[in-house]
Every structure is written in structure tokens, then in C-alpha cells.
Amino acid sequence: MFVRVQESGRWNKTGSRIVFIPKKSGASPRSAEEVAYKGRIFLALEGDAGPSIPVPVAEIKQSLDQNPKELPLCVFFEISGTMYKQETEQTYPFHTRPNVR
């Protein structure tokens, strides 16, 4: 299962902190911490304005320690383009743009 949110805006990353600022007037920014733990990378969302519920980093790590073969629910994990295509049968939608100044 996956969440698909179609919204435009801009991303800002400082260190491990990622913030999405929606283009839509009045929409709240969403922030998350990018965490690497035991070979996995995930986003720990903060607040409840986003497409998921917030789950504390400690809770995610504890869940991965207790059952390393299962991913915790309500957490966004990084996956490869191949895995994305296999799971969704769609083209991998994430691309990086060069930072233009």
C-alpha cells in the first residue's frame, strides 16, 4: 500500500530536516526528519498536517529492532525505483533537480 498525494510546492532540506512548503495559499508546511537506521532510510513526520500521522523516531527504531523483516505502518521508507515500479506498476516519480541559484 502507498499514499499518493498530488500537491505542488517546494522542498527545503537543511541537514536531516526536510520541509515541504505547499504552493496552495493557506496550506500548512509539513516537516520531517530523515533518519538512517540499520540500513534503512525513513522520514519521521512531525505534526498532523501531512498525509500521514506522526510517529516518533524512537518508536520506529524500536519496531525495527523487534521485527526487522517488517516495516512499521505509517512511516515513509526510501525504496528503489525498481521496487517502486514492481509494487505500484507505475514509473518512479521522484527526481532530483540541480540547485539553481
Which of the 8 DSSP states describes residue 69?
A: T
Tell me how far apart the alpha carbons of residues 96 and 99 are, in angstroms, rounded to a whole number: 9
AA letter at 68: P
Portion of the chain with pLDDT greater than 90, in percent: 8
Q: Which of 86, 87, 33, 42 is nearest to 64 (CA)?
A: 42
Task: Map grid coordinates 499514499 to a residue.
Answer: 3
Among 30, 26, 31, 41, residue whose Cα is nearest residue 71:
41
The model's pLDDT over 31-61, given as tens digits with 9 standing for 90+, comes to 888 888 888 888 888 777 666 677 888 998 9
